[in-house]
Amino acid sequence: MSLTTPLLSPNVYGAKKKQGPFDTIYYLKGALAGGLCCSITHGALCPVDVVKTRIQLQPQKYNRGMFAGFGQVIAEEGVGALATGLGPTVVGYFVQGWFKFGGVEFFKINISQQLGEKKAWDNRIPIYLASAAMAEFIADIFLCPLEATRIRLVSNPSYASGLITAFPKILADDGLIKGFYSGFGPILFKQIPYTMAKFAVQGAAAEKIYAVTGINSNTASEGTKLAVSLSSGVVAGVAAAIISHPADTLLSLINKEGAGGEGSIMTRLGRLAYETGFVKLCLTGLGARCVMIGSLTAGQFGIFDTIMTLTGASKFKFTNPDEQ
């Protein structure tokens, strides 16, 4: 099959309805929607991320929970401190969302076309997982330098005034690899399982919601579809946050100036993991992150679906050919 081959899906009357075409324009719409949904949601939740990162980096100081953490940051540094790292957050997650959502659409559609409708339906969860892993790996190559810059600014607000001044300073101080890619291993360990869970759980949760409520996804209103996207997104976000949290904690720690001492990235990561301990890696800041990622993921799927609808793109759906 070609990249623009239409797939077939059963409509409410049992006849076959064409999906697609899934061409370059479709994938660009998916990438744009992905970039915007990630940029908007991560930017909006920047204050939560600032507090979450402080809890991870300074647990002895920020040890009274997320809401108290907000008060501590504002009392000590002013309300503007909650926007620390906003520049690299918005830019970094637009780029990441472009490749992540656009990549997932590209990979899952083309894998499905190669397998055929029946095999694609039977293997939809593995297809979600594989597509998410491949798309996220590509996205993280571009995200990692901007995430390193964000964490450096949050952990040390006096380091630079923002993205434009911090980026060249990190490059001059630490070099390309140590400065921007020390966290590449943790970001892969964090983001790939996170994204795999995010898309697979969201897809499964949406299916379950439609089945339990008896709603036909082919004939449901756009408002109903949006509600399903938001509900399944919350479930997916919490699951993904729990799975990826230890690596997220390590990522925050490794990007602190001088963290882990000298040696290779893996040596420094191993030292930090040992010093922190397994329980703290799994639990420090987890509550704040579940709140953040649950709402963020719901928002992402809601915004993504809305933008795709506004651009006239009809989203790809796995369909069961045995249902008439």
Contact 307, 262 (CB under 8 A): no
Strands 7-10 and 16-19 turn out to be antiparallel
Residues 134-145 have pLDDT tens digits of: 999 999 999 899
* Tokens matching residue 70: 């907000």
Averaged pLDDT for residues 111-120: 94
Q: How far is residue 61's CA from residue 254's CA, in Å, rounded to a whole number?
A: 19
pLDDT band at 198 (very low <50, low <70, confident <90, very high): very high
Between CA 296 and CA 304, with CA 298 as vertex, the angle to 5 degrees is 95
Mean pLDDT highest for which of 153-157, 163-167, 209-213, 244-248?
209-213
Is the whole model's pTM more than 0.85, yes or no?
A: no
The whole-number pLDDT of residue 62 equals 87
The whole-number pLDDT of residue 4 equals 47
Residues 269-280 have pLDDT tens digits of: 888 888 888 888
The whole-number pLDDT of residue 220 equals 87
Residues 52-99 have pLDDT tens digits of: 778 877 888 888 877 898 999 999 989 988 988 888 889 888 999 999
